[in-house]
Every structure is written in C-alpha cells, then in structure tokens.
Structure 1
Amino acid sequence: MARPTRHRAEMEILDLAAGLFARHGFAHTSLKDLADAVGLSKAGLLHHYPSKEALFEAAQEACQAQGRRVLDQVAELPPGPARDRRALELLTDVALDLPGLVSLAFGAVTSPEEPVIAIEDVMVFEVFAVAPDGSDVERAIRVVGALAALAVLSVTANRAGEKTAWRPHIITTCLDALGHRRPGTPSPDPDPALAKD
C-alpha cells in the first residue's frame, strides 16, 4: 500500500486533532491526547507542530482554506439553486473526507462557552450568497440549518462507514433545508393553527 503524501498526512493529523478540539474544547485537550489520536509520540507531534496552540491554529486555518476553496469554485455562479447545489456537493465532499475539521468549524454553534470558529469565518454566507447586511433573515437561517444538518449527517456517515451511500441523501436533505424541494415533492401543509379563517 502506498504511503500517503505529506500533504495528506498533514491533513489527517489536522482532521484528527480538530475532531478532538471540537469534542473536548481546546483547554481540555492535552498534547498527549492529540499525539495518541494521530498515532505519534508527543515528540513526533511536536516535530510537525511546535505546540498545541500551533496545531489548533493550523486546524483553524485548514477550515478556512477549505471554505475559500469552495467559495472559489462557486463564486462565478449566480445565486440560486444551481449554486446552492454545487456548494453543497463541494461542502459535503469536504465534510465526508474531513469530519474533524467540519466538527471544529461548527463548534462555535454547538459549544457557546468556547467559540472556536465563527460560521462567518469559514465564508459560508459568501458561498451561499447571503446578503451581508443581514436583510434576508430567512435565507441566513436556512443556510445555517442546512449546514448544521450537513455537519451532523456527515459525521454520522463517517462513524457508520456509509459515506458513499449517504452522500446524495445529505445533499438532498440540505437542499430541502434551503427551500429547494425535489421535483414532484408536495409542499408541506400549512399548520392549521396558523391558518387564517
């Protein structure tokens, strides 16, 4: 079996470390925990990253780099369903390949006591062409909801070992959250309690 490239090995280290930071928080993740997770001695890990802080910063930068890569690939598409679909395809591939980075990126939403990376810092609002002035609250909420679903579903797919089988369903679920229903899918009935007489 071929050895992974240096870049791939570094990404594996960052992804495993990011997953630990997301689960336990920076303060509660020791250098020994990190070294054990990535299969290195503490000295070996320190050879790659001079400190726990440097590893944490590198993981944050990797999250932001993935966001920039996705933004670069959809920036020329006009806002709308085609851009949303392409963004979700790209983000789903990242999430299925690097679940630790995704967990870290969304840690700010799930762990309010220790914000890790604000959603805005991974450029998702730009990726989905959400108005920067906050004027479209529903769109912003739908984007956050779709991405929360993407994060949870991709981590679950990884744990279940079902990345390939789950991928199209993750994308469809997120498109539904954005309001892009599949053709032939009926709209949900309005809540009768909210209907006007």
Structure 2
Amino acid sequence: MARTFRQDADERILDRAAALFAQRGFAHTSLQALADAVGLSKAGLLHHFPSKEALYDAALNMGKVQGEALFDPALRLPVGPERDRLAVELLIDFALERPGLVALASRSITTLGSEEEDPADATGAFAFEVFGVDPESDDPERVARVAGMLGALVVLILVANHLGDKTTWRRHIISTCLDTLGHRSPGLPSTDHAQVEA
C-alpha cells in the first residue's frame, strides 16, 4: 500500500512532538512549543491535529501500532538470547527513524512505581513485555538489565541522530544493548575491561 505525503508529514510531526512530550511532559508542553518543534504555525499544527491532547494521543497510538507490528517476529520467539537480539535490532532500527516516539515510550521507565499516571505507561510496559519482563515481579537483575538497556538505547539513539551518523552508531548501539542484557555481541570487541591495580 503506497504511503501518501500527508501520512509521511503526520508521522514526522508526531515523532517531533513525541520527543518534546518526552522531554517536558504533557502538562509542561505548550501548543506553541509543539508548533515550533515541528516547524509549523499553531494554526498549521491545529490543521493536522485539533488539540494538544489529540496530538499526544495520536503520537502514543502511532508508537503502539507501529511497535506491535514491528515486534511481532520477536514475540513469536521464546524468551531468551535469540529473542533479545532480534528485539534489540528491531527496536534500534525503529528508534533511529523515530527517536521521538521511542523517547516518549521510554518516559514510562522513569515513572515506574510512581503515583503519576501517564498513558505512555502502556507503551513502556509493552517494551518490557517484548523482553519477557514484568518489572513488578521478575528477577531484579533482569529488570535492571532491561531497564538499563532501554535507557541506554534512548540516549545513544539521540546522540546518533544528533551527530547524523546512524550507520556507524547502529552496530555500537546494538553491542552496548546486548552487553547490558548480558549477551556479548558477536564480531565486536567486548566492553569488559580488565582492571589494573596501581
């Protein structure tokens, strides 16, 4: 099915808006700041989305729909290193193209266990599900590794996008994420360094 110019434009708008929502939170993100971030006037932005709430909901929904479709192959595998590896690669490829959506989804990691309720929490919970983790009841080491990997991935994706060198950074991000999960990435040097005592 061919994509339209409008669909592409809306996805770019949603990704940039998601990045701003992730950075500032919904309540602290103004419509003017959103318009500035996406390169439109407020009227132009409201032509695409009738309100700030509609824009936020559309960004969450796009991340959810695209994430579910993206991770379907990984979810078909049993929990373990092979599933982790595929999920990391799929997530990184998606994140390099849509860093704002991934940043918004990762916001829920920082609010785990808090009273703050955010619709993004469901997206973050799905990310844990992809790696076969329940943050509330699973092994603390595994939860820490998955949360650490997701946090590192978001930061590294933002750096790669800022530097504009996605191709070079991709393999290093994969290696870092797999190392964080406890799986050494084949073909890349280990990040373990022997400590030298003085």
> 1:41 and 2:41 equivalent?
yes
Fraction of identical pairs, as percent: 55
Aligned to 1:146: 149
Task: State how far apart, in whole Å, the 2-side matches of 1:102 and 1:11 are.
Answer: 13
- Contact in 2 for aligned 1:77/1:83 (Cα 8 Å): yes
Shift in CA distance, 66/136, structure 1 to aligned 2, threshold 3 Å: farther
Contact 1:64–1:121, Cα closer than 8 Å, also in 2: no
Distance, in Å, in 1 between the alignment partners of 2:27 and 2:192 is 46
C-alpha distance in structure 2 between counterparts of 1:120 and 1:46, whole Å: 25
Change (3 A) 1:60 1:155: same
> What is the Cα deviation at residue 132 of structure 1?
7.7
Q: Provide the rounded CA distance (Å) in 2 between the counterparts of 1:188 and 1:164.
A: 25
| Residues 16-49 of structure 1 deviation map (CA, whole Å, 9 limit, x = unaligned) | 1111112222222211221122122212211111
Distance, in Å, in 2 between the alignment partners of 1:162 and 1:24 is 26
The counterpart of 1:174, out of the listed 157, 171, 177, is: 177
Q: What CA distance in whole angstroms lies between the structure 2 residues aligned with 1:186 and 1:88?
A: 17
Structure 2: distance between partners of 1:93 and 1:27:
30
| TM-score, normalised relative to structure 1 | 0.83
Structure 1 CA distance for aligned equivalents of residues 177 and 155 of structure 2: 11
**Is the 1:18–1:101 Cα contact (8 Å) retained in structure 2?**
yes
The residue aligned with 1:125 is: 128
CA deviations 1:97-150 (Å, max 9, x no partner) are 111111111223347796642266451122112258723222122111111111
Residue in 2 that maps onto 1:137? 140
State how many pairs are aligned.
189
* Alpha-carbon distance in structure 2 between the residues aligned to 1:189 and 1:55: 49
Distance 1:153 1:41, change over 3 A: same
For 1:193, the equivalent position in structure 2 comes to none
Q: Does 1:14 align with 2:14?
A: yes
CA distance 1:187–1:36, shift in 2 (3 Å): closer
Deviation at 1:68, TM superposition (A): 1.1
Give the aligned CA root-mean-square deviation in angstroms: 2.8
In structure 2, relative to structure 1, the CA distance for the partners of 1:77 and 1:20 (3 Å cut) is same
**Are residues 1:88 and 2:91 paired?**
no
SS in 2 for 1:28: coil
CA distance in 2, matches of 1:20, 1:162: 22
Whether the 8 Å CA contact 1:31–1:52 is kept in 2: the answer is yes
Q: Structure 1's 187 and 21: CA in aligned 2 closer, same or farther, altered over 3 A?
A: closer
**Deviation for aligned residue 1:5:** 2.8
What residue in structure 2 maps to residue 28 of structure 1? 28
Change (3 A) 1:186 1:17: closer
Instruction: Answer yes or no: is the 8 Å Cα contact 1:109–1:115 preserved in 2.
Output: no
Structure 1 or 2, whichever has the larger Rg, is 1
Unaligned runs of 5+ in 2: none
